[in-house]
Amino acid sequence: ALASRLSYFLWSTMPDDELLELAQRGELSKQIDAQVRRMLADPRADQLVEHFALQWLQIKRLETFAPDKALFPMFDDDLRGAMLDETRLFFAAVMREDRSILELLHSDFTYLNEPLARHYGLTDAFRAAGGSIGRGRSRRNGGGDEFVRVSLPDASRGGLLTQASVLTVTSNPTRTSPVKRGRWVLEQLLGSPPPPPPPNVPELEAQKEKLTGSLRERMEQHRQNPACASCHARMDPLGFAFENFDAVGRFRVKDGEYDIDPSGELPGGQTFAGPGELKQILQGRKQMFARCLTEKMMTYALGRGLEYYDRPAVNRIVRQLEANDFKFSTLVVEIVSSDPFRLRRS
């Protein structure tokens, strides 16, 4: 039973001969560490990227998301596919190279093909990494040209938060949405979702005539409503930090005619000048992110929502992550070693 659970969790298919033989000899439990590492290195672990990572990050929606064609004529199916492939390849690298899960928040590398490098304004870094036009097609449909691993020149890019897949699905078709982006960070990375908005609060677009200035200035006027202020104080600064990225993830310094101000202050008093500094703050909240990712992956592994009686197992996994430099393999080994996973009802 453990062999099947492990295999369907990591590979989304039946166990191979090695797993079955170990299980028949009663040795799988003793070799769980080595088997997890073997399985994560196997191409079949792409299924964990496809079925867990894309679901956790909510970027499968990119397949049907349609930015306004008049405003974003460069957004086509090739670019859409490249955005998804960047995230797939990046998550797979963290997984296969057994990197720290904190690199998901900020990293000094990513994967780009030529269209995505142009989109990001990173053609020099792309060429420095050996990328060139016409090197062949991506192994994935719709991905455009071949992907290469690119070292990022500064902290504004790097990690999931500044990948176009995430930035696009957390936008509206015509503009960015700091609220959606801030909410996404709270829900998907920090495990601290805000409550639903109060009823009868007019949408920002409905107040266009009354509100003026940049999107940030209009939102600050909009949230003068006391019913909105407390939740927006948590969400908006997180979203404003990424205003330098437009609704399809391109870097920009202006919102129309207005200069962009990506600085902010979090409710706890921590300040940041832009996305690079905010990512450092988020990386500093190691336990919070580790707990959130543990809960998300454990929910996926168990095929059910977590209950109060799962809390001791989650606490133990977070402690083990801290003790092992937040390594990706530790997260998986501890989940499959936990009582909720081993004693899971069929």
> What residue segments make up the domains of the chain, in order of their start?
64-162, 175-278, 285-346
Q: Which range has the worst mean pLDDT, 184-188, 191-195, 257-261, 285-289?
A: 191-195
User: Is the Cα torsion angle 251, 256, 259, 265 positive or negative in sign?
Assistant: negative
User: pLDDT over 90 for what percent of the chain?
Assistant: 77
Which residues neighbour 175 within 8 Å (Cβ) at sequence distance 6 or greater?
Answer: 215, 247
Listed in sequence order, the residues at least 6 apart from 256 whose beta carbon sits closer than 8 Å to its beta carbon are: 214
CB atoms within 10 A of CB 221: 15
Residue 34: pLDDT band (50, 70, 90) is very high
This prediction has a pTM of 0.90
Which of 162, 150, 230, 168 has the alpha carbon at shortest distance from 195? 230
pLDDT at 223: 66
pLDDT in tens, 183-204: 999 999 999 988 777 666 655 5
The pLDDT of residue 141 is above 90: no
What is the pLDDT of the chain when averaged over all its residues? 90
Question: In terms of DSSP H, where are the helices of the chain?
Answer: 2-10, 17-24, 32-41, 46-48, 54-56, 77-96, 114-120, 123-128, 164-169, 178-184, 215-222, 226-240, 275-284, 286-302, 311-323, 328-337, 339-342
CB atoms near residue 233 (< 10 Å): 14
| C-alpha torsion sign, points 332, 189, 98, 126 | positive
Quickly count: other Cβ atoms within 10 Å of residue 151's Cβ. Answer: 11
- As a whole number of angstroms, the distance between CA 63 and CA 127 comes to 28
